[in-house]
């Protein structure tokens, strides 16, 4: 004979409201003006970081939140590499900015290894004196690992694409993602600073 219903079961039944008829309230609000301060890559990184740190501390469910968290970091990597490439393309050389109209956008690709090769071609030569000061080998190993397991960016997004075979060391992942973030943001910062300084020198030349 079944025992009496526990408090938790009662609570779950009371909270199950799929049969209630709710009035839908929109949650998207489109403003007239864009928010230039929003960083999509930063958003993906921070969201992934919260979940990864939680899992690394032994909280949550790795087979549920873990897949999404690793994908969030992978998408950060994709956006960070594209930003690095573009910052490089905005420079003709370290001491000269490119003509904006001549700067080509990065193609909509998801291959991290290909994006890294673009970064080596478009960004590295512009900050060559700083490049090797950063832990480039670590970043390359991280990109290579993602490329080996999720070359097209499908394994962490769709079922039956391989991701269901993955397990993760979230303790290592937590440390690694922060280090990769530091390196990529540092490189991007160097390129951005070169562009800013060149603008200042060009403004002085106009006087």
Q: Report domain extents, the chain.
A: 38-205
| CA torsion through residues 89, 77, 138, 117, sign | negative
- Whole-angstrom Cα distance, residue 105 to residue 68? 28
- Whole-angstrom Cα distance, residue 56 to residue 44? 18
pLDDT cut 70: percent of the chain above it = 91
Following CA atoms 45, 49, 50, 54 in sequence, which dihedral angle do they give, to the nearest 10 degrees?
A: 160
Question: How big is the chain, counted in residues?
Answer: 207
Q: Which residue has the higher pLDDT, 143 or 12?
A: 143
What is the pLDDT confidence band of residue 92, given thresholds at 50, 70 and 90? very high
What is the per-residue pLDDT across 13-65, written as a single tens digit (0 to 9) for each? 667 788 888 899 999 999 999 999 999 999 999 999 999 999 999 999 999 99
pTM of the predicted structure, to 2 decimals: 0.88
C-alpha angle 59-65-68 in degrees, rounded to nearest 5: 145
Q: Is the pLDDT of residue 2 over 60?
A: no
Token code pair at residue 135? 């832990």
What is the per-residue pLDDT across 179-193, written as a single tens digit (0 to 9) for each? 999 999 999 999 999
Q: Is the pLDDT of residue 201 over 90?
A: no
């Amino acid at each position: 004979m079944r025992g009496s219903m526990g408090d938790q079961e009662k609570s779950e039944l009371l909270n199950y409201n799929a049969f209630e008829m709710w009035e839908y309230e929109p949650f998207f609000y489109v403003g007239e003006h864009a928010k230039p301060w929003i960083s999509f890559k930063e958003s993906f990184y921070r969201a992934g970081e919260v979940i990864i740190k939680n899992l690394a501390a032994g909280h949550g469910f790795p087979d549920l939140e873990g897949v999404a968290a690793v994908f969030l970091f992978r998408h950060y990597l994709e956006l960070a590499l594209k930003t690095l490439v573009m910052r490089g393309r905005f420079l003709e050389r370290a001491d000269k900015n490119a003509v904006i109209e001549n700067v080509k956008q990065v193609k909509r690709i998801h291959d991290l290894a290909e994006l890294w090769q673009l970064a080596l071609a478009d960004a590295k030569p512009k900050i060559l004196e700083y490049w090797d000061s950063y832990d480039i080998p670590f970043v390359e190993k991280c990109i290579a690992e993602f490329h080996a397991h999720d070359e097209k960016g499908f394994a962490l997004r769709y079922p039956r694409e391989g991701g269901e075979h993955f397990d993760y060391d979230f303790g290592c992942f937590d440390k690694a993602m922060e280090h990769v973030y530091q390196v990529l943001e540092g490189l991007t910062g160097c390129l951005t600073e070169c562009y800013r300084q060149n603008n200042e020198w060009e403004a002085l030349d106009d006087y």
